Amino acid sequence: MLSSEDKTMESRKPVHKLSETIHSLLGWKSHVTSNWVKSVCDIMKSAPPDGASIISKPINGVMENSMKKKNDELHNSVLKIEDEIVALTAYINQLNTQRRQVLNEFLDLRGNIRVFCRIRPIAVPENFGQLKAVAALDSSNVVLKLAENKSKTYSFDKVFHPGSSQDEVFAEVEPVIKSALDGYNACIFAYGQTGTGKSFTMEGIPQSPGVVARSMEAIFKQAVDSNHVYVFTFSMLEIYLGNLKDLLVPQPTKVMDPTPPCLSIQTDPKGGIDIDNLVAIPVTDVNQALKLYKLGCRFRSTASTNSNKTSSRSHCLIRLSITCLDAPERRRETNKLWFVDLGGSERVLKTKASGRRLDEGKAINLSLSALGDVIHALQKKNCHVPYRNSKLTQVLKDSLGEDSKTLMLVHVSQKEEDICETLCSLNFATRVRSIHLGNMDSNEERAQKEIAIAHMQKKMKMIEDERQDVRGKIEKFNEELQKLTGTAPSSNDQLEASHLLSKFNQHNLEATRRKTTETKEAPLSRIPRFMKPTVCSTRKYGADSQTSEEKVKFPARRRRPSSHRAESVSFPVKRRSENNSECSISRNSCLGDLNVKSNADETEYSQDATECDIKSIIFMEHEISSKSSTQQKGCLVSSDGYGKGKKNSFISTNFSKVDNWLRLHKNEPTVSTTSQKSKRVLAIPAPEKKHNYKFTKKTIANNEKHESYVDVLGSGRLKQVEIHKPPTNMENIIDAHSICDSKYPPETLNGETILHTKSLGDMFMEESQSNLRSPPKIWGSCYDMNQDGGRVNQTFTMQKEGRAQSPETTFPEKNSCCKFSPSKISHCTFETRDDSGSSMSVSEQDLQCLLLPTEMTESVSQQDLQCSQFLTEMTVSEQELQCSQVPTETSTYESDSEDLDTIDQISENSIEKTRPRPGIHNMRTQRALFIDNKNPKELIETLVKPQQNTEVLGICNHIIGKVQILGASALLASGFNNLGLEHEFFNGLIL
């Protein structure tokens, strides 16, 4: 039997021995023509890989030589092309370096800060009766007609007349974009009076995109064209009323929405500026960048003013971070390119702005003046530059100085009525321009500079043409190479790119890891108290700063509705089209119909961008791009998609902020109250469970005051009680002093005052010694425990006046007894929420309330109260506990202020010192203990010395009797009668 391998060999045999077969054929059949032999050889040559070995085996000397020759030729030509490509690549690199040098020289000559002036055209309806105050003299001079025979000329690097197109503007902006790719920090900003076309220049209109869109396109194209691999991240923020706002994060529109984390400006030791918490999204191509830009624009705050129907009420800043690891000649490994659409300067008198519009205008003017101061200081080469005077200059600090390229586009209006603003803008722009050019330059020097600049421009053009030529040649050679070898030329690039990407990812990952380890929080227990986060700081810095433990314990607080939000109403945007309305709206709302929540003087804007909007751009794009990115050089961020498979660490790191926020948005804290308005709380004790309680504070219902201190039993030690908004549906009476057991004086454990609460049984007993009168429908008790000790810290007594509503709130009328064990009484958490409708949360399982009979009135006597089996340390079964559900709805008996007064009173005075207001305090105490005791002193005495009360003896004896019965029963049950003791013995015990 032949094995499968042998069979394969057998099947290959004829092909392997084809040359020998031909030999033999030639010998045997001399009539076979040489043509036939040639054709057979051709077939062999074109045979599939299996036949490759045949080629290597020469048929004869001639064929061997010709084959070798051909192979060599092929090999040589491949080598030659490869050499050419290498040489051309080296040349193109040389040209790149030259171009970079020339560009820098050019920009240096022009100045690190270049200033362009753009004159806004007057629209036809506006044109009527308008005189033109500004005109472009030539491509670099502008004339301002101040009076009939007085005018002033201003010089700028470039002047765009009213008819200039967006293309023309961008052509002048492009060198700065190139500088950004060369590793320089760059900043392009639009300045000018409101309504002069800043947003038109930067953002553009759909038919004619602005500088931002064009720059994005150019930068991605140049990145692909270059021989380097770049990684880009996109961020967008606005400075509104002096505050930074991330435009890529949905802003809260509802009261319940969580507040996004605060953006804060950080300076690194090298002077670099970073914005903490600003979302930076990696973008791999221009489409992603533009989609994010569009999304951010939707979030911008705009409003209708007298000067502009869609006036920007903030400064909008777009940041493109560029990282390139394989280009040591670049200025920086990571640099930033800023696009800034400044808010329009406006004269309040003219715009007649008031309210919020006025505030916005003032904030804009202030920051613009701070920008002017910075520029002035830079111009004067002052040692102190006042960057810190505004958020705008702080953010742009490292992009405005010496080592960066700045381009300012000043916008002016032609209208005569705007002449003052135009004059201010032109003066400001001239001041900016003079930073580098210097006012001291003579005309001759300036002329020389202009010649040098022109020369540089020529040189740059030549280099650029040459580069294009060389690039064309390289492409041709690559195609030839592809034909010869059958391999794609980009494979090397891809390999290189993926290598660089992994390097970049590693770099980022390490940086992130370093950052996290540096900032890793020490365990809270080890941190000094003053360093621990406060509620405010936790709220300010968002949920991120909370430990997971904290998150579990204290669900994120909901935003307290600010007054203006509370006033917000929804109405269609179209109705607000009048100029100078007091409503700021998102940019998108100008385009489409939105549910804008706004009001007069309302500057909050509804943003309709949802989670989906962001995810669709951020995540979907990355999913898509991950497939296409391998095709591109310079567009290298890949991902396996959101939430599945292996994720690109870099992306995941960068997305985490968005994702966290979105998660935060989703996981709104759910209020787990069991005592919502109409919900009932089980009074029957829940099966005991092991709790890991760590309640350290109680929130006790009350009104505005936030905290009060209760000095318990005059011990001098304060127990902190936090007070929030009152639950309107429940009364809480805290009579800590009334339930503290005098037998066990308070002690301190871990700095906390520990109250040995009087057991409920004791209280019950005591109360029964007094005249029972008008017992409340509900009363209950709860206490909290520390995780470890199970110590009772505090006891609350709740009660309800009036009739219980529940049919379950029945109690045996005759035999009105209540059996319970304090040991079964578990924990109770009182929790009020300031904005959630004053709910009170009482843990269902933890709260064990004792319900007294509904019909229990003054007529209830001591005999009726057959509270016979009261055993403080015994667990009483659920059946024994004749308790039922307690409705939490309670009537408002006393005003909240009264509650507060009482608490205050308690806090101020120890029990001994207390001079409670007769009435309220008295009533409380009485209600707490179900007794009618006119004098609180008497009450205390009753508590402290119950034995002195003669009536007490009766009930005590009664209880003792019951205990004896129980004891005897226990003895019987455990078989003591077997010892020979007679029934009389047990009866004697009982009686």
Q: Which of 114, 119, 155, 158 is nearest to 135 (CA)?
A: 119
Query: Is residue 197 a contact residue for ligand ATP (CB under 6 A)?
Result: yes
Length of the chain: 991
Which residue type does 988 have?
A: G
Q: Does 199 bind ligand ATP (CB under 6 A)?
A: yes
Nearer to ligand ATP, 127 or 382 (CB): 127
Of 200, 230, 293, 339, the residue at the interface with ligand ATP (CB under 6 A) is 200
| Stretch in the footprint of ligand ATP (CB under 6 A) among 15-23, 196-204, 376-384, 399-407 | 196-204
Q: How far is Cα 937 from Cα 714, in angstroms, rounded to an integer?
A: 14
The CB-side HSE value for 99 (13 A sphere, CA atoms) comes to 22
Residue with smaller CB distance to ligand ATP, 120 or 777: 120
Residue 237 · residue 341 · CB < 8 Å? no
On whether 194 is known to bind a ligand per the annotation, the reply is: yes
| Least distance from ligand ATP to the Cβ atom of residue 157, Å | 18
**DSSP state string for 516-579:** HHHHPPPPTTTS-GGGSPPHHHHHHT-GGGS-HHHHHHSPPPPPPPPHHHHT-EE--GGGG-ST
312 binds ligand ATP (CB under 6 A): yes
Q: Is 588 in the site for ligand ATP (CB under 6 A)?
A: no
111, 183, 195, 776: residue in contact with ligand ATP (rule CB under 6 A): 195
Give the nearer residue to ligand ATP in terms of CB position, either 121 or 837. Answer: 121
Residue 560, amino acid: R
In the complex, the smallest distance separating the C-beta of residue 594 from ligand ATP, rounded to whole angstroms, is 19
Q: Choose between 433 and 587: whose C-beta lies nearer to ligand ATP.
A: 587
Annotated binding residue 192: yes
Tell whether residue 356 is a contact of ligand ATP (CB under 6 A). no
Are 59 and 47 spatial neighbours (Cβ–Cβ below 8 Å)?
no
Range in contact with ligand ATP (rule: CB under 6 A) among 18-26, 187-195, 567-575, 877-885: 187-195
Please count the other Cβ atoms lying within 10 Å of the Cβ belonging to residue 832: 23
Nearer to ligand ATP, 192 or 726 (CB): 192
Report the alpha-carbon distance of residue 876 to residue 874 in Å, rounded: 6
Query: Is the CB of 163 or the CB of 486 nearer to ligand ATP?
Result: 163
> Which residue, 196 or 226, has its beta carbon nearer to ligand ATP?
196
Q: How far is the CB of 663 from ligand ATP (least distance, A)?
A: 34
226 is an annotated ligand-binding site residue: no
Residue 768 interacting with ligand ATP (CB under 6 A): no
Rounded Cα gap, residues 978 and 986, in angstroms? 12
Is 890 labelled as part of a ligand binding site? no
> Closer CB to ligand ATP, residue 191 or residue 504?
191
Considering the complex, what minimum distance in angstroms separates the CB of residue 312 from ligand ATP?
A: 3
Question: Which residue in the set 111, 175, 183, 192 belongs to the binding site for ligand ATP (CB under 6 A)?
Answer: 192
Alpha helices (runs of H) in 693-732, residue ranges in sequence order: none
Give the Cβ contact number of residue 433 at 10 Å: 25
CA dist., res. 365 & res. 390, Å (int): 11
Closer CB to ligand ATP, residue 185 or residue 305?
305
Distance CA 792, CA 784 (A): 6
Q: How many CB atoms neighbour CB 402 within 10 A?
A: 10
Distance (Å, whole) CA 627 – CA 285: 12
Ligand-binding site membership of 199 (annotated): yes
Bridge pairing between strands 301-303 and 281-283: unpaired
**Long-range contacts of 753-756, Cβ-Cβ distance < 8 Å, separation of 24 or more:** 753/712, 753/715, 753/717, 753/718, 753/719, 753/793, 754/791, 754/792, 754/793, 755/712, 755/713, 755/719, 755/792, 755/793, 755/794, 755/795, 756/792
Contact status: 308 vs ligand ATP (CB under 6 A): yes
What's the rounded Cα separation, in Å, for the pair 683 and 122?
Answer: 78
User: Applying CB under 6 A, what is the total number of residues that bind ligand ATP?
Assistant: 17
State both tokens at 285: 């191509």
Q: Are 856 and 893 contacting, i.e. CB atoms less than 8 angstroms apart?
A: no
Quote the least distance from Cβ 167 to ligand ATP, whole Å.
Answer: 12
Nearer residue to ligand ATP within complex by CB, 590 or 671? 590
Residues within window 406-435 making contact with ligand ATP, judged by CB under 6 A: 411
Is 310 an interacting residue with respect to ligand ATP (CB under 6 A)?
A: yes
Phi, psi (degrees; rounded to nearest 5) at 251:
-85, 150
Q: Which of 198, 228, 245, 622 binds ligand ATP (CB under 6 A)?
A: 198
**Residue at token pair 């403080």:** 872
Mask of contacts with ligand ATP, 213-252, x by CB under 6 A?
A: ----------------------------------------
> Dihedral of CA 520/524/530/536: which sign?
positive
- Rule CB under 6 A: say whether 897 interacts with ligand ATP: no
CA-CA distances (angstroms) from residue 362 to 346, 349, 353?
9, 12, 10
Q: How far is the CB of 193 from ligand ATP (least distance, A)?
A: 7
Smaller CB separation from ligand ATP, 344 or 936: 344
C-alpha separations of 673 from 332, 701, 756, 842, 845 in Å: 56, 14, 28, 6, 11
Cβ closer to ligand ATP: 195 or 936? 195
Q: Does 311 bind ligand ATP (CB under 6 A)?
A: yes
Q: Which of residues 114-133 bind ligand ATP (CB under 6 A)?
A: 120-121
Least gap, CB of 141 to ligand ATP (angstroms):
19
Is residue 344 involved in binding ligand ATP (CB under 6 A)?
Answer: yes
- Closest distance to ligand ATP from the beta carbon of 161 (Å): 10
Q: Does 314 bind ligand ATP (CB under 6 A)?
A: no
CA 332 to chain centre: 29
In the bound complex, what is the minimum distance in angstroms from residue 622's beta carbon to ligand ATP?
32
**Residue range at the interface with ligand ATP (CB under 6 A); choices 18-26, 193-201, 379-387, 460-468:** 193-201
Please, what is the minimum distance in Å from the beta carbon of residue 309 to ligand ATP? 7
Q: Minimum distance between the CB of residue 379 and ligand ATP, rounded to whole angstroms?
A: 25
CA distances from 447 to 268, 442, 460 (A): 41, 9, 20
In the complex with ligand ATP, the residue whose CB is nearer, 410 or 435, is: 410
Determine the Cα angle at 398 with ends 394 and 400, to 5°: 85
In this complex, which beta carbon is closest to ligand ATP, that of residue 343 or of residue 542? 343
* 106 is a site residue for ligand ATP (CB under 6 A): no
204 binds ligand ATP (CB under 6 A): no
Are 464 and 99 in contact, with CB atoms under 8 Å apart? yes
Distance in Å, CB of 417 to ligand ATP, minimum: 15
What sign results for the dihedral spanned by CA atoms 641, 643, 648, 650? Answer: positive
> Of the candidates 196, 586, 759, 902, which one interacts with ligand ATP according to CB under 6 A?
196
| Residue 208 Cα to chain centre, angstroms | 34
Rounded to the nearest whole angstrom, what is the least distance from the CB of residue 380 to ligand ATP in the complex?
A: 28
Is residue 390 near ligand ATP by the rule CB under 6 A?
Answer: no
Among 226-234, 303-311, 523-531, 670-678, the segment contacting ligand ATP (CB under 6 A) = 303-311
Identify the residue whose tokens are 């293309």: 167
Any binding-site annotation on 51? Answer: no
Q: Which of 291, 229, 347 is nearest to 615 (CA)?
A: 291
From CA 930, how far away is CA 867, in angstroms rounded?
15
Q: How far is the CB of 197 from ligand ATP (least distance, A)?
A: 3
Shortest spacing between CB 165 and ligand ATP, in angstroms? 9
Chain residues that interact with ligand ATP, rule: CB under 6 A = 120-121, 192, 194-200, 308, 310-312, 343-344, 411
Output the known binding site: 192-199
Output the known binding site for ATP: 192-199
